[in-house]
């Protein structure tokens, strides 16, 4: 049997979204939003490398405006998506689209490199159909985040004991951790923790995580 | 959870309907409450209805390649002189309406994708009066379609870039035919047969969007996908079965999708996209800016 990629009826019926393509528009907006969330703040420069189908049809499908809209925090059903390139420009964000001829592991692949000052981060996302996405690379590390399961993305200071504090919060609210990825820019700087969980108590968890010392941002995706 | 159509039909026997099985499975998989799950689906239904209404009133895409076909078919329907019955023409009109809204970058509900969003919405809004479907029955219709869609998505694909148009309009049409069978009082097994009958005819359908836009031929293919769902459902309800079992048909579609060259998978490098007119339109729309 092939890999089970779809778990919810709403992966099939939904999302409600701005047209025209669930993989090239809605999926792209979701990738952009996750990328922004992992980066943790507004970037100065966004380099967008597009592969295969994304490279060939990104303008016709609104993939460009959707990726940038996502980086600005917009959801797939946000009608401001149409104007995302203009909005990014007015915020002083420089965006570059670079269609690549290389083969990729999936026909709808995008690699985004976000830069702010000395901070640089690379994230690769794939859009697997019906608006569903996966994150396959983070700063050169291969990861596999389905983003179809409840996921917390936490940006924290790279200090001893911080991971223990985070997992303690989840433990207190009886939330089970499925997978966990921790990566950092450099020693003692910002680090990222991505946690996939089972049936979370979202509101209280996000609030409690934000109250911890040395936490910069907490985002939740379901 | 069910991973094959066979498992889906078998597990449905333990519930009052496929929709109930889908809701129970969703509760188990996501931990969401029944109320929340039903409310989310009602929201999807409302988005579908709005896109049908908007499209029939008339929209035009930014490129002007599509738009205005739904109002034309609406006018034609009202003459009472259509060759097909009202339900079939209505389904085609509504499916076109949704996809014209999609092409215009309006709000739609993807089922299973945006490029194929017209099929399920078009069929449901065309039959609900005739079948006297209550609001809840319409929501159930979507859960039934979603159940079959989940199996197809996991065993094959619902992405044009992965599997061609058969994966999008093909899957949507199969899902719609199954839901139609159930809404008309057919059994889960008959619904499964409708899926097989539908996919067999959609097999091999390529994704060849002119200028890479979800407009030509997507909008009209949605109309054909919707009408085929109605015919498949009637065949299954009449007791006709597929010689090749449903799961084997889904598997065959997956294989065909993998074997299909990438020029036919949402790259605008083959089929209608590379006809003289298709190429001319692409040049007109993107001009010198094309990378």
Minimum Cα–Cα distance from A18: chain B residue: B107
Q: Are A175 and A209 found together in one domain?
A: yes
Task: Tell me: do A121 and A189 sit in the same domain.
Answer: no
Mean pLDDT along residues A65-84 = 95
Least confident of A145-159, B41-55, B115-129, B168-182: A145-159
Chain B, 197 to 236: residues with Cβ < 8 Å from chain A are 209, 211-215
Residue A9: asked if its preceding bond is cis (omega within 30°), the reply is: no
Among A11, A12, A49, most B C-beta atoms within 10 A, so best to mutate, is: A12
Question: A17-45 burial, b for 16+ CB within 10 Å, e for fewer?
Answer: bbbbbbbbbbbbbbbbbbbbbbbbeebee
Q: What is the pLDDT of residue A73?
A: 94
Q: Are A186 and A210 members of one domain?
A: yes
Answer yes or no: is pLDDT of A79 > 80. Answer: yes
- Domain check: are A125 and A202 in the same one? no
For residue A28, being part of any structural domain is answered with yes
Domain contains A1: no
- Do A138 and A196 sit in the same domain of this protein? no
* pLDDT at res. A85: 96
Same domain, A92 and A53: yes
The predicted structure's pLDDT at residue A57: 86
User: pLDDT tens for residues B182-195?
Assistant: 999 999 999 999 99
Q: Is residue A2 part of a domain?
A: no
Q: Does A173 touch chain B (CB under 8 A)?
A: no
CA distance A24 to A77: 14
User: E-strand spans in B90-143?
Assistant: 107-109
Mean pLDDT of B205-229: 97
Q: Find residues 92-151 of chain A whose CB sits inside 8 Å of chain B.
A: 99, 106-108, 127-131
Distance between CA atoms of B89 and B177, rounded to whole angstroms?
16
Across the interface, whether the CB atoms of B153 and A22 are under 8 A apart is answered: no
Query: Which of A19, A62, A77, A205 should we substitute to test contact with B (largest number of B Cβ atoms within 10 Å)?
Result: A19
Contact A57 B3 (CB under 8 A): no
Residue B289 has pLDDT above 60, yes or no: no
pLDDT at B219 over 50: yes
Residue A142: the pLDDT is: 80
Q: Which residue has the higher pLDDT, A151 or B276?
A: B276
Question: What is the phi/psi pair of residue B59, to 5°?
Answer: -135, 165
For chain B, give the mean pLDDT: 96
**Mean pLDDT on B26-54:** 95
Nearest-Cα distance to chain A for B143, in Å, is 7
Residues 175-214 of chain A whose Cβ lies under 8 A from any Cβ of chain B: 198-199
The pLDDT value given to residue B163: 96
Last residue of a domain, one of A81, A115, A145: A145
Question: pLDDT-based confidence at A166, cuts 50/70/90?
Answer: very high
Answer yes or no: do B107 and A79 touch at CB < 8 A: yes
What pairing do the DSSP bridges indicate for beta strands A215-221 and A177-184?
unpaired
Number of domains in chain A: 2
Q: Give pLDDT, residue B287.
A: 75
Same domain, A159 and A108: no
Domains of chain B, CATH where assigned: 5-282 (1.10.4100)
- Residue A20 with chain B: CB contacts under 8 Å: 102-103, 105, 114-115, 213-215
Neighboring chain A residues of B209 at a CB cutoff of 8 Å: 57, 60
Answer yes or no: do A109 and A75 share one domain.
Answer: yes
pLDDT tens digit sequence for A3-31: 688 989 999 999 999 999 999 999 999 99
User: In which domain, by residue range, is A198 found?
Assistant: 151-221
Q: Three-state secondary structure along B160-186?
A: HHHHCHHHHHHHHHHHHHHHHHHHCCC
Name the residue with higher pLDDT: A60 or A36. Answer: A36
| Residue B129 CB partners (closer than 8 Å, separation 6+) | none
Check residue A200 and give its pLDDT: 65
Report the CATH number that the domain containing residue A161 is assigned in CATH.
Answer: 3.30.70.260
Query: Is B31 within 8 Å of A82 when comparing Cβ atoms?
Result: no
What are A184-202's pLDDT values in tens digits?
A: 877 888 888 999 888 766 7
Q: CA of B65: how far to CAs of A23, A96, B57, B216, in Å?
A: 21, 28, 17, 7
Is residue B250 scored above 60 in pLDDT? Answer: yes
The strand pair at A94-99 and A45-51 is best described as parallel
Q: Do B153 and A11 touch (CB under 8 A)?
A: yes
Q: What pLDDT does residue A208 have?
A: 92
Measured in residues, chain B has a length of 291
Whether A3 is in a domain gets the answer no
Residue A129: inside a domain, yes or no?
yes
Is residue A26 domain-shared with residue A119, that is, in the same domain?
yes
Q: What is the CATH number of the domain that holds A94?
A: 3.30.1330.90
B26 touches chain A (CB under 8 A): yes
pLDDT band at A1 (very low <50, low <70, confident <90, very high): very low
Q: Is the pLDDT of residue A139 over 90?
A: no
Minimum-distance CB partner of B26 among A5, A9, A222: A9
Q: Is the ipTM of this complex over 0.90?
A: yes
Assess if residue A4 is contained within a domain. no
* CB atoms A10 and B167 under 8 Å: no
CA distance A133 to A149: 11
Question: For the packed helices B246-259 and B5-12, what is the interaxial angle rounded to 10 degrees?
Answer: 150
| pLDDT at residue A201, as a whole number | 67
Higher pLDDT, B212 or B206: B206
Q: What's chain A's average pLDDT?
A: 90
Report residue B82 as tokens: 């259509």
**Residue A46 has what pLDDT?**
98
Strand partners, A156: A191, A215
Segment among A171-180, B127-136, B192-201, B269-278 with least mean pLDDT: A171-180
Residues A166 and A134 in one domain: no
Mean pLDDT of B39-57: 98
Nearest to B229 by CA among B159, B157, B127: B127
Which residue is closest to B39 within chain A, CA to CA? A10
Cβ-contact A100, A55 below 8 angstroms: yes
| Gyration radius (Cα) of chain A, Å | 17
Q: How far apart are CA B183 and CA B229, in angstroms?
A: 13
Residue A17 domain-assigned? Answer: yes
Same domain, yes or no: A85 and A156: no
What pLDDT was estimated at residue A205? 87
pLDDT at B291 > cutoff 50: no
Average pLDDT estimate for A77-102: 96
Binned at pLDDT 50, 70 and 90, residue A38 comes out as confident
Same domain, A19 and A119: yes
- Beta carbons of B250 and B151 less than 8 angstroms apart: yes
Mean pLDDT score, A93-104: 95
CB of A20 closer than 8 Å to CB of B213: yes
Structural domain includes residue A84:
yes
* Model pLDDT for residues B85-126, shown as the tens digit of each residue: 999 999 999 999 999 999 999 999 999 999 999 999 999 999
Final residue before a domain boundary, out of A84, A117, A145: A145
Boundary-marking domain end, from A145, A162, A196: A145
User: Are A181 and A138 contacting, i.e. CB atoms less than 8 angstroms apart?
Assistant: yes
């Amino acid at each position: 049997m092939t890999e089970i990629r779809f778990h919810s009826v709403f992966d099939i019926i939904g999302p409600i979204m701005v047209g025209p393509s669930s993989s090239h528009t809605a999926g792209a907006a979701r990738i952009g939003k996750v990328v922004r969330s992992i980066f943790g703040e507004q970037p100065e420069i966004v380099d967008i490398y597009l592969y295969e189908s994304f490279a060939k049809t990104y303008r016709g499908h609104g993939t460009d405006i959707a990726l940038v809209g996502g980086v600005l925090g917009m959801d797939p059903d946000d009608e401001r998506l149409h104007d995302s390139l203009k909005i990014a420009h007015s915020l002083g964000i420089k965006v570059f689209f670079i269609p690549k001829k290389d083969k990729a592991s999936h026909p709808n692949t995008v690699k985004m490199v976000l830069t702010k000052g000395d901070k640089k981060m690379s994230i690769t996302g794939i859009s697997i159909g019906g608006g569903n996405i996966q994150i396959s690379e983070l700063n050169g590390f291969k990861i596999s985040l389905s983003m179809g399961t409840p996921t917390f993305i936490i940006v924290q200071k790279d200090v001893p004991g911080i991971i223990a504090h985070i997992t303690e919060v989840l433990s207190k609210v009886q939330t089970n951790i499925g997978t966990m990825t921790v990566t950092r820019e450099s020693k003692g700087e910002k680090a990222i923790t991505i946690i996939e969980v089972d049936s979370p108590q979202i509101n209280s968890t996000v609030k409690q995580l934000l109250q911890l010392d040395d936490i910069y941002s907490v985002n939740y995706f379901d | 959870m069910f991973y094959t159509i066979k498992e889906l039909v078998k597990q449905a026997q333990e519930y009052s309907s496929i929709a109930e099985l889908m809701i129970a499975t969703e509760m188990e998989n996501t931990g969401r409450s029944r109320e929340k799950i039903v409310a989310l689906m009602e929201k999807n239904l409302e988005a579908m209805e709005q896109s049908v209404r908007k499209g029939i009133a008339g929209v035009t895409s930014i490129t002007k390649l599509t738009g205005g076909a739904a109002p034309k078919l609406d006018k034609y329907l009202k003459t009472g002189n259509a060759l097909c019955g009202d339900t079939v023409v209505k389904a085609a009109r509504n499916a076109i309406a949704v996809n014209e809204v999609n092409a215009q970058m309006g709000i739609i509900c993807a089922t299973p994708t945006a490029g194929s969003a017209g099929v399920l919405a078009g069929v449901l809004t065309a039959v609900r009066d005739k079948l006297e479907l209550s609001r809840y029955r319409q929501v159930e219709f979507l859960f039934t379609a979603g159940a079959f869609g989940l199996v197809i998505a996991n065993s094959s694909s619902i992405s044009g870039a992965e599997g061609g148009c058969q994966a999008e309009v093909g899957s949507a049409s199969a899902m719609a035919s199954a839901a139609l069978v159930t809404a008309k009082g057919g059994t889960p097994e008959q619904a499964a047969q409708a899926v097989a009958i539908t996919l067999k005819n959609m097999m091999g359908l390529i994704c060849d969007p002119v200028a890479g836009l979800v407009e030509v031929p997507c909008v009209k293919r949605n109309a054909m996908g919707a009408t085929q769902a109605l015919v498949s459902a009637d065949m299954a309800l009449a007791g006709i079965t597929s010689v090749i079992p449903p799961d084997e048909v889904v598997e065959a579609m997956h294989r065909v999708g993998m074997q299909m060259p990438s020029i036919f998978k949402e790259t605008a490098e083959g089929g209608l996209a590379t006809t003289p007119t298709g190429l001319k339109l692409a040049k007109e729309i993107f001009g010198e800016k094309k990378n």
